[in-house]
Amino acid sequence: MLSDRDAYIDSFTEFIGESPTSYHAVSTIVQQLSALGYVEHVEADEWQQLQPQGRGFLRRDGAIIAWRAGAQIDAASPVRILGSHTDSPGLMLKPQPDFTSHGWAQAGVEVYGGPLVSTWFDRDLAIAGRIVTTDGREHLVKTAAVARVPMLAIHLNHELGHEVKVDRQRHLQPVIGMQGASVLSMLAQQAGVTEADIAGADVRFVDSQPAARIGATSELFAAPRLDNLSSVFAGLVALTETEPAAGTISMLAAFDHEELGSMSRSGAHGPLLSDVLARLRSGLGAGTEDVARAIANSWCLSADAGHSVHPNYAEKHDPHVQPLAGHGPMLKVNAQQRYASDAHGAALWRRCCEAAGVVTQSFVSNNTVPCGSTIGPMTSAKLGIRTVDVGVPLLSMHSARELAHVDDLHGLAAVTASFFAGA
Q: Do domains 5-88+224-420 and 90-207 have the same CATH topology?
A: no
Return the percentage of the chain with pLDDT > 70, whole number: 99
Tens-place pLDDT, residues 64-105 = 999 999 999 999 999 999 999 999 999 999 999 999 999 999
pLDDT for the residue numbered 296: 97
Question: How many helices and strands in the chain, by DSSP H and E?
Answer: 9, 20
pLDDT for the residue numbered 194: 96
Residue 181 to residue 99: CA distance in whole angstroms = 9
**Residue 41 near residue 47 (C-beta atoms within 8 A):** yes
pLDDT for the residue numbered 162: 63
DSSP H or E run through 141: strand 138-142
Q: Is the pLDDT of residue 408 over 90?
A: yes
Bridge-based pairing state of the strands 299-303 and 386-391? parallel
SS3 405: strand
Which one, of 373, 370, 372, 369, lies nearest residue 381 by Cα? 373
CA 395 to chain centre: 16
pLDDT for the residue numbered 291: 96
Q: Where are the beta strands (DSSP E) in 175-332?
A: 175-178, 198-207, 212-214, 220-223, 249-255, 299-303, 306-307, 330-332
- As to burial, measured by CB atoms within 10 angstroms (0-12 exposed, 13-18 middle, 19+ buried), residue 232 is buried
> Is this model's pTM higher than 0.85 or not?
yes
Task: Match domain 5-88+224-420 to its CATH number in 3.40.630.10, 3.40.640.10, 3.10.20.30, 3.30.70.360.
Answer: 3.40.630.10
Residue 228 to residue 303: CA distance in whole angstroms = 8
CA-CA-CA-CA torsion for 117, 119, 124, 129, nearest 10 degrees? -50
pLDDT for the residue numbered 161: 60
Task: Match domain 90-207 to its CATH number in 2.40.50.100, 2.30.250.10, 3.20.10.10, 3.30.70.20.
Answer: 2.30.250.10
Tens-place pLDDT, residues 148-207 = 999 988 888 776 566 678 999 999 999 999 988 899 999 999 999 999 999 999 999 999
User: Average pLDDT of 414-418?
Assistant: 99
Helix locations, 308-405, DSSP H: 343-356, 376-383
- In this predicted structure, which of 8-22, 199-213, 365-379 has the lowest mean pLDDT? 365-379
Residue 69 to residue 251: CA distance in whole angstroms = 9
pLDDT for the residue numbered 222: 99
pLDDT for the residue numbered 47: 95
pLDDT for the residue numbered 154: 84
Q: Is the pLDDT of residue 361 over 80?
A: yes
**What's the mean pLDDT when you consider all of the chain?**
96
Q: At what angle do helices 226-241 and 406-420 cross, to 10 degrees?
A: 40
pLDDT for the residue numbered 110: 98
Query: Cβ atoms within 10 A of the Cβ of 288, count?
Result: 7
Tens-place pLDDT, residues 267-311 = 999 999 999 999 999 999 999 999 999 999 999 999 999 999 999
pLDDT for the residue numbered 160: 58
Tens-place pLDDT, residues 16-68 = 999 999 999 999 999 999 999 999 999 999 999 999 999 999 999 999 999 99
Kindly indicate the confidence band of residue 399, based on its pLDDT and cuts at 50, 70 and 90.
very high
Tens-place pLDDT, residues 322-338 = 999 999 999 999 999 99
Domain ranges of the chain: 5-88+224-420, 90-207
Residues in the chain: 423
pLDDT for the residue numbered 90: 98
pLDDT for the residue numbered 165: 83
